[in-house]
Amino acid sequence: MTATETKRLSPKPAWLRVKAPTSPEYQRTRSLIRRQRLNTVFEESACPNIGECWAKGHATVMILGSVCTRACAFCNIATGKPDRLDPHEPERLAEAVTALGLEHVVVTSVDRDDLEDGGAGHFARSIEEIRKRAPAMTIEVLTPDFRRKDGAVETVVAARPDVYNHNLETVPRLYPSIRPGARYFASLQLLARVKTLDPSIFTKSGMMVGLGESREEVHQVMDDLRAADVDFLTIGQYLQPTPKHAPVDRFVTPDEFEAYAAMAAGKGFLLVSASPLTHSSYFAGDDFRRLRTARAAQLADAAAAS
């Protein structure tokens, strides 16, 4: 994006304005995360939900450093030469999330195309270390696309996360400008592969709207995700982190989000979260409980019908 193309940040409509985080719980989560020298998506990506999530003791932690090998046009995370891998990070992570007393944790990372396994081994070790210290804690991973990293998905699935999340982020037509290092169908295949390897793992994907996509294109993404047997879809408003990032094409209204939620539910997703403030791991703990309930109801219906 050249200098002349940078656009002033569009003023947010009322439904996207949130109060600055101040609660004691927020401060406690923040200081503990700082003490453990952990990266969190919230701070790196300037997430508007940080106050709410940290006040609930919910954290999405980022492993594999804070510098990414990709440069997605919507993302506020630094791009460049990645940090040296810290072999003790999985243990530190497990200690921190245990100290936070989380019921559900989301572990994500930057893309590490520079690593032979793309960081898959680090994800697997992080899951194992958390399980050792907090066996009751449920674990969601939000992974990179592990492009050209044979065996990487298998490594993470073998560690048996409760939820495997990988975001499509946007519609295929916008990939070249918004997510240039990724391939739409490669990301879909990753999600389908997880379900083939272990059908008991919930699969989840998220996208942002307001980047210039049409309603029909969003519906097509829903169909593609259902064809990959994805259980849970999140849809939220894209917010421009800085003037150097992709501009907001428009702010999608709450009514349109409701229409997306209804459309997605009609296509058979076990769970859908669609709202202006929805982010991929927004209230992930509550959503995980809802996923389990929805699957139990689905199995009960199937048993009753047979």
The CA-atom distances, in angstroms, between 39 and each of 43, 92, 221 are 8, 11, 30
| Binding of residue 113 to ligand SF4 (CB under 6 A) | no
Q: Which is nearer to ligand SF4, 134 or 182 (CB)?
A: 182
Least Å distance between CB 134 and ligand SF4?
26
Rule CB under 6 A: choose which of 75, 93, 168, 252 binds ligand SF4.
75
Q: Which is nearer to ligand SF4, 118 or 161 (CB)?
A: 118
One-letter amino acid at 101 equals G
Least Å distance between CB 140 and ligand SF4?
16
Asked whether the beta carbons of 124 and 93 are under 8 A apart, the reply is: no
Least Å distance between CB 75 and ligand SF4?
3
Site residues (CB under 6 A) for ligand SF4, limited to 77-96: 77
| Binding of residue 142 to ligand SF4 (CB under 6 A) | no
Which is it for the CA torsion 264, 41, 16, 210, positive or negative? negative
| Binding of residue 106 to ligand SF4 (CB under 6 A) | no
Binding mask 40-69 for ligand SF4 (x = CB under 6 A): ----------------------------x-
Rg (CA), the chain: 19
| Binding of residue 72 to ligand SF4 (CB under 6 A) | yes
Q: Which is nearer to ligand SF4, 75 or 171 (CB)?
A: 75
3-class state of residue 169 by DSSP? strand
Least Å distance between CB 71 and ligand SF4?
6
Written as six digits, the tokens of 27 are: 């401060």
Which is it for the CA torsion 67, 71, 72, 73, positive or negative? positive
Q: Which is nearer to ligand SF4, 70 or 104 (CB)?
A: 70
d(CA 88, CA 207): 32
Written as six digits, the tokens of 5 are: 């193309």
Q: How many CB atoms lie within 10 A of CB 35?
A: 10
Asked whether the beta carbons of 274 and 205 are under 8 A apart, the reply is: no
| Binding of residue 137 to ligand SF4 (CB under 6 A) | no
Q: Pick the piece of the chain touching ligand SF4 (CB under 6 A) from 5-13, 32-40, 70-78, 197-205.
A: 70-78
Least Å distance between CB 34 and ligand SF4?
21
From the number of C-beta atoms within 10 Å of its C-beta (0-12, 13-18, 19+), residue 200 rates as exposed
One-letter amino acid at 253 equals T
| Binding of residue 246 to ligand SF4 (CB under 6 A) | no
d(CA 263, CA 249): 22
| Binding of residue 111 to ligand SF4 (CB under 6 A) | yes
Interface residues toward ligand SF4, by CB under 6 A? 68, 70-72, 75, 77, 110-111
